[in-house]
Structure 1
Amino acid sequence: MAEIQMTADAIAATTILNRLAEELDKRRKVVRRRLDYYGGKHPLCYASPEFRDYFAGRFAGFADNWCAPVVAVPAERMNVLGIRLDEGSRKADKDLSRAWKTADAERGSSEAFVTTLAASRSYCLVWADSDDENVPRVTWERPDQAIVAYDSDTGKRSAALKLWADDTKEYATLYQAKTVWKFQRSKSSTSGRSVAGLIVPAEGLVNASAWGGWKPRQGSDDVWPLPNPMGVVPMVELRNQTLLDDDPISDIDGVIAMQDAINLIWAYLMNALDYASLPQRIVLGADIPKVPILNADGQVAGYRPVELDKLNAERILWVPGEHARIAQWSPADLASYSNVIERGVEHIAAQTRTPPHYLIGKLTNIAAEALTAAESGLVSKTGERIVYVDPSIREIYALMALVQSDENKAKACRAGTVVWGDIQFRALAQKVDALVKMRQIGFPFEWIAEQYGLEPHEVARVLKMREKEAEDDPMAQMLNGTMQRPEAEPAEPDVETAEV
């Protein structure tokens, strides 16, 4: 493999790589903390140093995870069914729907929505499949391993970076509109500070003589950098809500503090279960027990009192004094702890618009209308989250169309309509009753099928089945005036007339 010379374009690429890696490093700690809380990895917060010193080991790894349902409940209602390119037609594009399924984007997008709501952002990379250049390959990237840069004037994507590492090497791929730069370097050959999990040399990434530790990563065709036939940066950012700035908000940022408080109360509760849930006997009026101190010859040289910590561990309390007697404390009221935990969970439900029955888990016999009203906040919240990610989904479809070499379809995707599954869960009888009434007042059957929640290809399939039933139903044909009367059989000739 021929040695590659450092050019001005290569230096500019490593400069961009360095800048994006710096920004990614700033985000990494916050992103991982949010994802850890979603996954149930909560560091237990203590109310006092004494409690921490004594109980840290006992409750290590404990977590009562309420961050997961806060994110999972709206994310599980965000299902992409396709994209409509023609405003006059309600049908989703078949080629893109097929490509979406082929790329396993149904599962990948579901995971990306969870990551977006929990960590505030995620990323999607679209490229051509290695076996077929016309088949899109869609991968979904973590926000602690990928980042997108934007032009400050136009707001369009100007570059994207993906960083990752294995046991021996570190890798970086920089995507630009016209080129793709791939770098790698050995972990053992680098030293200095950490950037996004990668060790950056003290002199930085831009080093005309030594490449800053990085070396070009080439494929079997020895092409470096790779051309980008798509003509645009092929990575898209899915962002949660922002406050008109460049810092999207996580859905669990406001939950983490209450989550820590609930975990602490659980620790207190389990401590009370261990120490104070049963009556505690005490000895009054007796001297504290002492143990002998032996000298080098084994003779008793004195006495020392038993350590109070050991007495506590053995559930014994000694109170010195005359007239020793035995008494007891009443058991602790554990309901006070559970009541506080329930209040905390209710606060989480109210603050995050998560229906209480998703969190508390109590089964109650309530009417369907009351259940719908209880979920109205969640439905509104889910619709709002869809608004945030909808432009990114359109852009992902546009990139898939570019992989298929269809620029006109890519332009149509950017102005298309993403088809989402029904975000409101209702009882089947309630849903069907509403659709029947809408049908009776004149809504077309195709629209009714869409509102029922069928995917676009299933709607077309149902319409064909409906037409087939109509063709086989003579009553429907009579009502539509399409029934064909049977042809009259020709009359037999008159024998006498024939003989004449």
Structure 2
Amino acid sequence: MATLEEALRLVSLMEAELLRRRIAIDRNNAYYRGEQPLKFASDEFAKFHGDRYRDFSDNWVQVVADSPVERLTVTGFKAAGEERANAELWRVWQVNGLDTDSQLGFLGSVVGGRSFALVWGDPDDEDTPVVTFEDATQCIVTYEAGSRRRRRAGLKRWQDGGYDYATLYLPEEVWKFRRPQLGMRDKSAQESDIDEELRRWLPREMEEEPNPQPNPMGVVPLVELPNKPMLVADPISDVTGVVALQDAINLLWAQMFTASDYASFPQRVVMGAERPMIPKLNAAGEIIGKEPVDLQKFAVERVLWVTGKDAKIAEWQAANLAAYTQIIENAVGHLAAQTRTPQHYLVGKMANLSGDALLAAETGLVKRVDEKKLWYGQALREVARLILLARGEDAMAKDMRAGSVLWADSESRSYAQLADALVKLKDLGFPFEWLALRYGLTPTEVADVVAMREREAEMDPVAAATAMLARRPGPAPGDGEDADAEAEEPDEVPV
């Protein structure tokens, strides 16, 4: 067991790393929400037009991040050696609302590079552990040297009601700490020393449970879901590579809006003439001077008198704004290619494409989703094992280490295509339950459908027997008793 000093030192080190990571995560979250600071190509443009487009963003980051998440749907868990999905694991998943919260976890991983899942027992219901998905700005996991899976410690840090809270998860125990949040005003050196002393983490006082308390699972219950893990570097967010192009697209829109305001119509200029002047009168009506005519008056009345023998009017054409839209479309095309997002997700225009053409257009996205299923599935398999450990099912938890996570199909197909494929697989001999899973039903729904089929068979035994005989392979011609009788029958003798 760790001492209080060791636990505090570990919390301090993990908190420092968590704060380092948070800078990039907060930026990616802001870009996902459309809170994107406009970047400028020149100081002059920023000086005159910076405030005008402060709140504008043509947000493609959200589309890129949402496109794989909408195809990530968990349908069940199956331990090694089991023929069917584990019904109890799915019940715990549903009770905790993870059919919806898992989408938040996947989105957090896609945007922030990682997210986390926390499993802990519920003293009020020992059969239903509490499972939550956690944000990467609040959680961090450290691993044993040389391993990317064996977790050494986990930390969750958050703020609430004027206090910072921290929970340190170790394999053998769990520590809980608290410290007050302090103001940010300028302070003297002595006041800063006092604040630093007050900012120290202290064990949380709890009447109903000890601190630290033992960890009955014997393993860190915080699991990391990396988005695109690397061997020696941090996982990569899907948003990281989009930020630069997003900035460029926003700048092009700002420049096009400015051009539209100033040069979208043909412009005329008067050359070779003095600016029109009008007499300036005193109270007695006497001319005491001249003053220039308000040019806005001409813009409203659309009338201008030009005098002078050399005066003439010239014109230049309106700006070609299509050049901007073409560059923006090219930038969006680059964004689609780099992120493997289908063009019809971004461009918003659909051609008369066949079903096969649409499937081919979405191949990159499907492969991208399958990659995420591989990494997220490994983490979710560990979450399922933790649920079993929290329930005291150690043997099943051991089998779950080599189990699998069941997912809905990544491809979007029409019902006609899917039904045709399933009928062909049925003719090859694939069982009904497997086909029902491929159709998109969850294991629980498949079990319900199988029970309905059995009830229908009990209500109509003749139809059930007929269907069974139809499915049973009969003897081939020339085999069995019919073949023997055929052999004993004499040939006909022509008369």
Please report the TM-score for the alignment, with normalisation by the length of structure 1: 0.82
SS at match of 2:133: strand
Cα distance, 1:83 vs. partner? 0.7
Structure 1 residue aligned with 2:25? 31
1:6-405 to 2 correspondence within 5 Å?
Answer: 9-89=3-83, 91-129=84-122, 131-155=124-148, 156-188=150-182, 213-221=200-208, 223-287=210-274, 323-405=310-392
Match of 2:366, SS?
helix
Q: Which amino acid aligns with 2:97?
A: D
Determine which of 480, 488, 492 is the counterpart of 2:468.
480
**Structure-2 separation of matches of 1:181 and 1:263:** 47
> Structure 1 residues 332, 135: CA separation in 2 closer, same or farther (over 3 Å shift)?
same
In the alignment, residue 421 of structure 2 is paired with which amino acid? Answer: A
Partner Cα separation in structure 2 for residue 222 and residue 400 of structure 1: 22
Which 5+ residue runs of structure 2 have no aligned equivalent? Answer: 279-288, 303-307, 471-495
* Aligned residue in 1 for 2:413: 426
Q: In structure 2, how many angstroms separate the alpha carbons of the residues matched to 1:478 and 1:422?
A: 33
CA distance in 2 between counterparts of 1:451 and 1:8 reads 49
Structure 1 residue 9: deviation in Å?
0.7
Moved more, 425-434 or 213-222: 213-222
Q: Given residue 143 of structure 1, which amino acid in structure 2 is its aligned partner?
A: A
- Contact 2:179/2:198 (8 A) holds in 1: no
Amino acid at match of 2:69: A
DSSP 3-state at the match of 1:171 = strand
Please report how far the alpha carbon of residue 457 of structure 1 lies from its aligned counterpart in structure 2 after TM superposition: 1.0
Q: Structure 1 residues 290 and 36, CA, compared in 2 at 3 Å: closer, same or farther?
A: farther
1:412 is displaced (CA, Å) by 1.8
1:366 & 1:204 partners in 2: Cα distance?
Answer: 69
Task: State the alpha-carbon separation in 1 of the partners of residues 161 and 15 from structure 2.
Answer: 20
| Distance (whole Å) between structure 2 residues aligned to residue 152 and residue 457 of structure 1 | 41
Q: Are 2:111 and 2:238, in contact at CA under 8 Å, matched by a contact in 1?
A: yes
The letter of the residue matching 1:470 is: A
CA contact (8 A) 2:29 2:111 kept: yes
- Going from structure 1 to structure 2, the CA distance change for 1:191 and 1:411 (only over 3 Å counts) comes to farther
Change over 3 Å in CA distance of 1:24–1:287 after alignment to 2: farther
Q: Distance in 1 between the 2:290 and 2:331 partners?
A: 51
**Partner deviation per Cα, 1:251-287 (whole Å, 9 max, x = no partner):** 1222111111111111111112211112222232345
Structure 2 SS opposite 1:188: coil
Alpha-carbon spacing, 1:234–1:368, altered in 2? closer, same or farther (3 Å): same
How many Å separate the matches in 2 of 1:28 and 1:92? 37
Specify the SS of the correspondent of 1:185.
strand
One-letter code of the match for 2:271? L
Give yes or no for contact 2:75–2:443 (8 Å, CA) kept in 1: yes
Letter in 2 for 1:270: F
Query: Which moves more between the two structures, 211-220 or 265-274?
Result: 211-220
Name the CA shift for 1:53/1:167 in 2 (closer, same or farther; >3 Å): farther
Note if contact 2:385-2:401 (Cα within 8 Å) is conserved in structure 1.
yes
Q: Separation in 2 of the partners of 1:479 and 1:344?
A: 59
AA matched with 1:152: A
AA partner of residue 444 (structure 1): P
Q: 1:497 maps to which residue? A: none
Indicate if the aligned counterparts of 1:38 and 1:67 stay in contact, CA closer than 8 A: yes
Q: How many residues align?
A: 456
Alpha carbons of 1:444 and 1:56: their partners in 2 closer, same or farther (altered >3 Å)? same
Q: Distance in 2 between matches of 1:303 and 1:404?
A: 95
Matched residues in 1 for 2:261 and 2:184: separation?
51
Aligned residue number for residue 318 of structure 1: none
Report deviation, 1:115.
1.2
CA deviation map 1:233-263 (0-9, x unaligned):
1111100223311311111222111111111
* C-alpha spacing 1:286/1:246, structure 2 compared with 1 (3 Å): same
Answer yes or no: is the 8 Å Cα contact 1:34–1:118 preserved in 2: yes
Structure 1, unaligned stretches of length 5 or more? 1-6, 194-200, 292-301, 316-320, 483-500
Which one of the candidate residues 391, 395, 414 is aligned to 1:408?
Answer: 395
Amino acid at match of 2:156: K
Question: Alignment partner of 1:218: what SS?
Answer: coil
**Equivalent position amino acid for 1:119 in 2:** G
Contact 1:181 1:225 in 2 (8 A): yes
State the SS of the aligned residue for 2:155: strand
Task: Give me the identity figure in percent.
Answer: 44
CA RMSD in angstroms comes to: 3.6
How far the C-alpha of 1:11 sits from its partner, in A, is: 0.7
| SS of structure 2 residue aligned to 1:128 | strand
